[in-house]
Amino acid sequence: MSNSIISIKNLEKTFLGAGEPLTILKDLDMEVEEGSKSIIIGASGSGKSTLLNIIGGLESSTKGDIFVGPYEISKLKEKQLTEYRSKFLGLIFQFHYLLKDFTALENIFLPAYMNGMKKKEAIERAESLISDVGLENRKNHLPSQLSGGERQRIAVARALINNPELILADEPTGNLDPENAAAVIDLLFSIVDKYHKTLVLVTHDISLKEKGDICYSIKEGKIITL
């Protein structure tokens, strides 16, 4: 029997604005197997990033049951959500969100240090991860001294620093040229394999369909397998 790390039942997300309510996810069911790599492909506005944000506890659902690992996301208070995101998740976004006044290595180890890991251990783990992404020779550089592809590699390493069970990646190569985008995707998939993590990747890039174990799309608020 498969072991689900994500189980979503009857998910709905409706946005209330000045006009008519807009429902972008409706009666959505989804299971993600532990250790798998899932790709969610869709056009802008289809709801794929909203789904990822709900899984990540960054956005609330209108209704539905969302279980991720031992957590029931819709029942978590803000303090519990913060703990969930810092301990269970690794988050990678289209923009790297690196701290501009800190070096590449500091950007990687700070989340672990702030999460209670001893500084020496956090630095050692960050050294290992920066080597994994091939940037040990750039570890003392500030983000402004790194290329776009290098910054995103550092963001990948940072996402692994707290040894999360689940990596959520939202258009992680959206700001990169095709050559750098392909390199970052290859790196992300190899590092996920190396550390036996579960990956859910959201993208508009149909060419990534074959990279995952399973590929989904969102149509009319529901998720379908491609």
Is residue 17 over pLDDT 80?
Answer: no
Model confidence at 204: pLDDT above 90: no
Task: Say what the pLDDT of residue 211 is.
Answer: 86
Minimum mean pLDDT among 116-130, 146-160, 175-189: which range? 175-189
Q: What is the pLDDT of residue 129?
A: 93
pLDDT at 140: 94
Q: What angle do CA 68, 204, 164 make, to 5 degrees?
A: 30
**Euclidean distance between CA atoms 203 and 43, whole angstroms:** 8
CA distances from 22 to 116, 128, 225 (A): 41, 45, 24
Q: Which pLDDT belongs to residue 2?
A: 58
Amino acid identity of residue 42, one-letter, is G
Check residue 42 and give its pLDDT: 81
